[in-house]
Amino acid sequence: MNKIGFDSDKYLSLQSEKILQRISGFGGKLYIEFGGKLFDDYHAARVLPGFAPDNKIKMLKKLKDVAEIVIVISSKDIEKNKMRADLGITYDQEVIRLIEVFRSYGLYVGSIVLTRFSEDDQQAKLFQKKLERKKIKVYHHYSIAGYPHNVQHIVSDDGFGKNEYIETKRDLVIVTAPGPGSGKMATCLSQLYQEHKRGHKVGYAKYETFPVWNLPLNHPVNVAYEAATADLSDMNMIDPWHLAAYGETAVNYNRDVEIFPVLNSIFEQIMGTSPYKSPTDMGVNMVGFAISDEEAVIEASKQEVIRRYYKALMTERRENKDPVESEKIELLMQANRISVTDRKCAVYAEDMAKKKKCHCAAIELPDGNLCYGKTGKLFGCSSAMLLNALKTVAGIPDEEQIISPEAIEPIQKLKVEYLGSKNPNLHIDEMLIALSMSAATSENAKKAMEALPKLKGCEVHTTVLLTRGDEKMFRKIGVNLTCVPVVDSH
């Protein structure tokens, strides 16, 4: 289990203070582009143990009296039903979900912007009507020829000038989106142009959690971010503009560094002079100042890199892809002396699989001890491991049988005789149902069920590629899973 290595309260205080300073520095109004996830930021929670997944939303709640939210979605993503893979919903469905979540925190959602809009986008028009029935204001922004490099055209009445002006009421405008490529930055820059044409003094900033600018380039936290974005071909690098302007080393990523000269020109065209000397200057990121235990954060980040490596292997195996992503992460691991043998549960699971000559799963328990399970006649290795872990955490002797055969047999019969399954072994959800049935008559089974929340945050490894059902169940339990991409013969 990870030790606490991050002070969330300090982070929330520093971050909100810095944003208020930025608002004041621009004369009273700021458009801030929010990168990454506004809530459910589990990557940050894993690499910075102590970082709450909803830290960003908590920080915004501190500023709710001055903040409003503008959600940006590309019309083209609506037309092609683009999905948020981690949630299994389309981008337009995610916008509705975001609105509901923001409102549940007392945050004001001012409007929705349909970017790259055209009159041919019929699905986008239907989505707009759905939003308007909910009394949500919708604006249109359009594709601009030559964006982002033709600065003279972009910063003109035929560029940003043809976009609809978003009417905002508050001093802090949070611009967010259901996913990357939605047009957050273009929306912010368009508003800067529109506001300055109206004589309003406003500013722009970015809120990115990673990479952490004031940590070394090869710090495991930044390496973990690069591993997490290996599929996007992002790369951390030293910000050359910051180094030239201040003589200080700062870490940024390639896309921001590459686009900065263009952004600088746009700022100069709109505002007369650019407020920033480097892409790092644009960011508001106090994460590095809230790390409370360096060793805990380093260990957690190394584990995340290994998890990302196994995840890439799993995806490539399932989707029959070339090993491009996994090889990129493997190179990162080699360069930073990170090895799969640094993962205790993986080493233990592999050792037990060799000894037992079958698939095994292992978990590192909250006290640091290891527990395993193997494929048998009743359970798959994952459900066997989970059952053993619950018994261990609940203090139930290993030899104690806590699921009665009467609870298992009907499930196996249903699977094989009625549903045509070739594998009678109980998966995780089936094992938990059998355990809950036994809990009605067995005190030990009840104790094991009640121990389930104690496994949240534990590290798990299996020597076989799991079914998506078992993988989903582990996610619900809250464990951090890795799998060897070997397909079970069943």
Residue 213 domain-assigned? yes
User: 59 Cβ partners below 8 Å, 6+ apart?
Assistant: 11, 12, 15, 16
Same structural domain, 135 and 252: yes
User: For residue range 329-362, what is the model confidence (pLDDT) as tens digits?
Assistant: 999 999 999 999 999 999 999 999 999 999 999 9
Same structural domain, 397 and 271: no
Look at residue 490 and tell me whether its pLDDT is greater than 70.
no
Quote the pLDDT of residue 446.
95
The mean pLDDT of the chain is: 93
DSSP code string of 384-412: HHHHHHHHHHHT--TT---S-HHHHHHHH
User: 45 Cβ partners below 8 Å, 6+ apart?
Assistant: 51, 52, 53
Q: Cα–Cα distance between 221 and 227 in angstroms, integer?
A: 10
User: For residue range 94-141, what is the model confidence (pLDDT) as tens digits?
Assistant: 999 999 999 999 999 999 999 999 999 999 999 999 999 999 999 999
Q: Apex CA 235: angle with CA 288 and CA 342, to 5°? A: 70
User: For residue range 31-60, what is the model confidence (pLDDT) as tens digits?
Assistant: 999 987 777 788 999 999 999 988 988 888
Same structural domain, 89 and 204: yes
Residue 131: which domain range?
8-217+241-290
Same structural domain, 387 and 252: no
Same structural domain, 378 and 252: no
Residue 25 domain-assigned? yes
Of residues 37 and 193, which shows the higher confidence score?
193
Same structural domain, 94 and 183: yes
Query: Exposed, middle or buried: residue 213 (CB in 10 Å: 0-12, 13-18, 19+)?
Result: buried
Quickly state the pLDDT bin for 5 (edges 50, 70, 90): very high
Domain count, the chain: 2
Residue 296 domain-assigned? no
Look at residue 68 and tell me whether its pLDDT is greater than 90.
yes
Residue 116 domain-assigned? yes
Beta pairing partners, 31 = 173, 204
| CATH assignment at residue 448 | 3.40.140.40
Same structural domain, 284 and 411: no
In the chain, the amino acid numbered 268 is E
Same structural domain, 77 and 195: yes
Look at residue 1 and tell me whether its pLDDT is greater than 60.
no
Average pLDDT of span 210-214 = 96
Same structural domain, 152 and 63: yes
Q: Apex CA 479: angle with CA 230 and CA 219, to 5°? A: 40
Q: Apex CA 452: angle with CA 451 and CA 458, to 5°? A: 110
Q: State the pTM of this model.
A: 0.89
Residue finishing a domain among 267, 290, 313: 290
Same structural domain, 50 and 133: yes
Residue 227 domain-assigned? no
Residue 223 domain-assigned? no
| CATH assignment at residue 45 | 3.10.630.10
Long-range pairs for 262-268: beta carbons < 8 A, 24 or more residues apart: 262/148, 262/149, 262/151, 263/148, 263/189, 265/151, 266/148, 266/151, 266/154, 266/155, 266/189, 267/192, 267/204
Of residues 3 and 14, which shows the higher confidence score?
14
Q: Cα–Cα distance between 282 and 262 in angstroms, integer?
A: 14
Q: Write phi, then psi, for 182 (nearest 5 degrees).
A: -85, -20
Same structural domain, 90 and 204: yes
Q: Cα–Cα distance between 185 and 438 in angstroms, integer?
A: 55
Residue 338 domain-assigned? no
Quote the pLDDT of residue 37.
78
Q: Cα–Cα distance between 483 and 460 in angstroms, integer?
A: 8
User: For residue range 395-436, what is the model confidence (pLDDT) as tens digits?
Assistant: 999 889 999 877 888 888 888 888 888 888 899 999 999 999
Residue finishing a domain among 258, 290, 322: 290
Quote the pLDDT of residue 2.
66
Residue 409 domain-assigned? yes
